[in-house]
Amino acid sequence: MYLIAEIGINHDGDLTKAREMISAAARSGASAVKFQYRNLERAYFGEPTEIGDEILIDEIRKTFLPPEELLTLSSQAQELGLDAGISFFDHADADDFGDSIDLFDFFKVPSAELTNAALVAFLGDLGKPLFLSTGAHAEPDIEGAFSRLSGFDWTPLHCVSNYPASLENARLGQIAHLRDRWGRPVGYSSHDDHWEICLLALQLGATTIERHLTFDRNGPGLDHSSSSTPDEFQKIRAFADALPLILAGNGPRAANQGELMNRQNLGRCFYAAKPLCAGEELKAEDLVYRAPNTGFDRNQIANYLGRPLRTDVAEGDALCPSDFDAAEPLQGWQLDRAKELKLALPVRLHDLGQVARQFPIGAYEFHLSYKEVLSVPDAGIADPGCRYSVHLPDYVNSTQLMDPFAPDEGQRAASKAVLDRTVDFALELSNRTGFETPIVGSFSMVPAETEGGLERFYNCHAELVREYAERGALIAPQWLPPIAWYFGGSVALKAMNNVQDAEHLVRRNMPVCLDVCHLLMGRNMFGFDVKEIVEMLRPQVRHVHLSDALGTDGEGMQFGEGDPGNEDIIRKALALPGLKVIEVWQGHLDRGNGFREALRRLTVL
């Protein structure tokens, strides 16, 4: 078995620490170490505007090591008897190493660049072993990427691009699926919260294991080692109970929501390198390939080169289908019906005006990052004739979640600061519009004590809601999914998503934001009756989030594209009080086509 110790970014940009990690990898019996490299000047197009990108680019900058230092580390590894490999995200980045690139023993194509045919061909032609991860890609993408390979020494690695991945998302059945489809040895690139998953992968025939190395499992790194404790005996039970989900995936690949986020954040698409005019034919030299992936990727762009643009495209805009093909506009009766249903759309501070002009339905929900909140947003951008809500940031900094009751004093203080600023903004919106401005919060951190943890969680948050209500603010804790996508990873949640949680909420008469998609995924995971939950919570529901759902982790699906039978629950949700915010995944991209289609479908239910 070939064991790759992924050094990745866990060295924190510290060369001395990286050297220590390589020595530790050699002592631990690893076969190889692997590094990552991104040229900072080519990684992103301008400053990020998506919340997830702000977090990621901070980490990339903090952990950067230049080529000369990575080559020094590779030499150290080889002197210790280890192979040394590296991942590249762009062909041009590989050129930064010049002829010294031949000093590496193998190369890796990360999940985000699996469909980057130019990068794959370049690395394969170097004549060294090539590993390719399948994370965040569906079956057609994998088929297209692997069918182009010939004459290379290549190994597919099954991968779930969550950092970390929970027990329920390992999808180890993909190991057999890839082996049977391609007739090659298959490895496993592990980002699991539990290292024991690697043992199951080996049992299923994985010939290579790639896993991150860290010195502190409880630190801010993505993966950590641990020894057995009493708590881990409980995890053994969790393995046994979750085994059917762990082994799922022996069939066509479907990316989960966290992977889609990471594919956007880590992947790239084509942006306009200069202003382009309507009627102008699109040329390759007019484009640059940058992160994040919010438009055409390398597979799609070929279909549009040489075609005339339908609209003007500003420098730095991602190219997308609506730049070439006009979408059918919403009709007046559809907009009126949306207002009647109290449908709303999510917005960021920078795109409220644009979304409101595209979709004049009179209701919008601000989704803010912690940086935006702490910069004190101006409620003056709001239209006094509209209604608004505000989504409390899930994160309070680049490494910590919103948790006003966290054991860590710094996390508590940061959570309180973000919460207070969000409340101030919501109250200003209420004063400007005359309407109540609900604040939606994702509160999910249950105290660790064995007894009374959930009881304490609800007592604390009920008091929090009451205190802010005395200031005139409505904080509505959000009904959560069984698995959350935090920091690009999948985390199994223990609160706000099951029958006992509904009982706690009712007993304390707490206001609730009912997320219908989360509710449907919870049904698929836990087996409860969705209609009973809706009826239990009806008196508590003050706000609604709407999208369809597929399985246990297919979040933010377009309406009508989720599990059969979901339409009835969505229709019931439309009859609930309060605003109903459409949360179809990436509905704001491609000039709002996802939102447009969602409004079209909801207004005829």
List pLDDT tens digits, range 519-564: 999 999 999 999 999 999 999 999 999 999 999 989 999 999 999 9
Sign of CA dihedral 198, 202, 203, 206: positive
- Is 146 a residue whose pLDDT tops 90? yes
Of 204, 227, 259, which residue is a domain's last? 259
Q: Residue 322: CB partners within 8 Å, gap ≥ 6?
A: 310, 311, 590, 591, 593
Q: Are residues 349 and 252 in the same domain?
A: no
**Reduced 3-state DSSP string for 155-195:** EEEEECCCCCECHHHCCCHHHHHHHHHHCCCCEEEECECCC
- Phi and psi torsions of 137, nearest 5°: -120, 145
At residue 54 the predicted structure's pLDDT band, cuts being 50, 70 and 90, is low
**Residue 51: per-residue pLDDT:** 66
- Is 177 a residue whose pLDDT tops 90? yes
As a whole number of Å, the CA-based R_g of the chain is: 24
Measured between alpha carbons, how far is 144 from 309 in angstroms, rounded to an integer?
28
**Rounded to a whole number, what is the largest CA-CA distance in the chain?**
72
Is 337 domain-assigned?
Answer: yes
Measured between alpha carbons, how far is 516 from 545 in angstroms, rounded to an integer?
6
CB half-sphere exposure, 411, CA atoms < 13 A: 14
Q: Which two tokens stand for residue 372?
A: 């935006």
Tell me whether strands 269-272 and 287-290 are parallel, antiparallel or unpaired: antiparallel
Of 259, 278, 306, which residue is a domain's last? 259
Is 292 domain-assigned?
Answer: no
Interval 403-408 mean pLDDT: 95
pLDDT in tens, 72-100: 999 999 999 999 999 999 989 999 999 99
Q: Which two tokens stand for residue 262?
A: 């990471």
**Residue 58: per-residue pLDDT:** 72
What does DSSP assign to residue 111? G
Report whether 553 contacts 521 (CB < 8 A).
Answer: yes
Three-state secondary-structure class, residue 25: helix
| DSSP3 helix / strand / coil % (the chain, rounded to 5) | 40, 20, 40
Is 290 domain-assigned?
Answer: no
Q: Among the listed ranges 182-186, 206-210, 287-291, which one has the minimum average pLDDT value? A: 206-210
Is 305 domain-assigned?
Answer: no
Displacement of CA 388 from its chain's centroid (Å): 25
At residue 233 the predicted structure's pLDDT band, cuts being 50, 70 and 90, is very low
Q: Are residues 502 and 402 in the same domain?
A: yes
Query: Rounded to the nearest 10 degrees, how much is the dihedral formed by the CA atoms of 351, 352, 358, 360?
Result: 170
Q: Which two tokens stand for residue 134?
A: 């399948």
How many CB atoms are located within 10 Å of the residue 558 CB? 15
Measured between alpha carbons, how far is 241 from 125 in angstroms, rounded to an integer?
45
What does DSSP assign to residue 288? E
CATH at 362 = 3.20.20.150
Mean pLDDT of the chain: 90
Measured between alpha carbons, how far is 59 from 240 in angstroms, rounded to an integer?
35
Displacement of CA 324 from its chain's centroid (Å): 28
Measured between alpha carbons, how far is 510 from 98 in angstroms, rounded to an integer?
61
Measured between alpha carbons, how far is 55 from 51 in angstroms, rounded to an integer?
7
Q: Are residues 354 and 224 in the same domain?
A: no
Q: Are residues 239 and 342 in the same domain?
A: no
**Residue 376: per-residue pLDDT:** 84
Burial of 381 (0-12, 13-18, 19+ CB in 10 A): middle
Measured between alpha carbons, how far is 511 from 534 in angstroms, rounded to an integer?
13
Measured between alpha carbons, how far is 474 from 464 in angstroms, rounded to an integer?
11
**Alpha-carbon distances, residue 68 vs 15, 213, 560 (angstroms):** 11, 22, 52
Three-state secondary-structure class, residue 267: coil
Report whether 568 contacts 527 (CB < 8 A).
Answer: no
Report whether 291 contacts 44 (CB < 8 A).
Answer: yes
CA end-to-end span of the chain: 55
- Is 226 a residue whose pLDDT tops 70? no
Of 234, 259, 284, which residue is a domain's last? 259
Q: Among the listed ranges 165-179, 228-242, 558-572, which one has the minimum average pLDDT value? A: 228-242
- Is 399 a residue whose pLDDT tops 80? yes
Measured between alpha carbons, how far is 54 from 348 in angstroms, rounded to an integer?
14
Report whether 64 contacts 89 (CB < 8 A).
Answer: no
Is 281 domain-assigned?
Answer: no
Is 273 domain-assigned?
Answer: no
More confident residue, 140 or 237: 140
Interval 252-268 mean pLDDT: 88
Q: Are residues 403 and 497 in the same domain?
A: yes
pTM: 0.80
Interval 204-218 mean pLDDT: 81
Give percent of the chain with pLDDT exceeding 70.
93
Measured between alpha carbons, how far is 393 from 414 in angstroms, rounded to an integer?
11
Question: Structurally, how many domains does the chain consist of?
Answer: 2
At residue 231 the predicted structure's pLDDT band, cuts being 50, 70 and 90, is very low
Q: Residue 436: CB partners within 8 Å, gap ≥ 6?
A: 430, 474
- Phi and psi torsions of 426, nearest 5°: -65, -40
Q: Are residues 349 and 230 in the same domain?
A: no
Is 594 domain-assigned?
Answer: yes
**Residue 341: per-residue pLDDT:** 97
Is 206 domain-assigned?
Answer: yes
Domain hosting 567: range is: 332-602
**Minimal CA–CA distance to 541: which of 501, 504, 573, 499?**
573
Report whether 547 contacts 557 (CB < 8 A).
Answer: yes
**Residue 451: per-residue pLDDT:** 52
Q: Can you tell me which residue has the tokens 């609730």?
A: 512
**Residue 560: per-residue pLDDT:** 97
CATH at 21 = 3.20.20.70
